Amino acid sequence: MTKKYFTEQAKYNNWADSFAIEWLTQINDEQWEQLIISSFSSVRKTAIHLTSAKRIWIDFWTKVPNPVYLSAEFNGTKNDLIEIWKKTSINLLNFIESYPEEDYLKPVDFVYPNGKKDQMIFWQTFPHFVNHATYHRGQLVTLLRQVGFTDFSNTDLATYFIKKQNTIA
C-alpha cells in the first residue's frame, strides 16, 4: 500500500461525504429528527455517527490523548454537525498527505465506544475506516428515502474513479 493509494481513498471518502452533506442541507428539521427503525434511529443519529467515526479515527491515528467520541457529546444543530464534518474532511486529507509511509506498518491503539481497548496496524485501520463510512452512507440513503428525500447522487468508488478520469482526460 502506498501513500498514493491512501490519499486516493481519503479523497474518495471526502468526495462521497460531500454528497451526503449536500443531501442533509436539503432536508428539514422534521426529516432530520424523524424516528426510524435502523442501526441508528434517525438521519441525525446516523450523520452524527459518520462524523464521529471520521473524527475519532483521526484522533486515534494522531494519538490524541483521551479522545472522545463526538456521538457521546454532540448536542448541536444540523448545521453545526455539517461544519464539523467539513472540517474533519479537511483534517483527514491533511493527515493522510503528511503521514509517513514507513508508519503504515505500525500499530494503532484505539478504544471502542464501550471502553474496550484494541489495536490494529495502520494499513488495516484505514481501509476499515473507508469501508465503515461507505456502509453508513448506504444506511443514510435508506433513511433519507424513508423521510421522503430522493435527490441522490451515486457515491460508488467506481463512479469516483470514472469521474476523476474524465476530468483529467
- Known binding-site residues for a divalent metal cation equal 49, 132, 136
**Chain centroid, CA 148 distance in Å:** 23
H helical segments located in 43-121: 43-61, 70-73, 78-98
Collapsed DSSP state (helix, strand, coil) of residue 66 = coil
φ, ψ for residue 40, nearest 5 deg? -120, 135
Collapsed DSSP state (helix, strand, coil) of residue 1 = coil
Instruction: Return the beta strands (E) in the chain as ranges.
Output: 107-111, 117-121
Annotated binding site, which residues?
A: 49, 132, 136
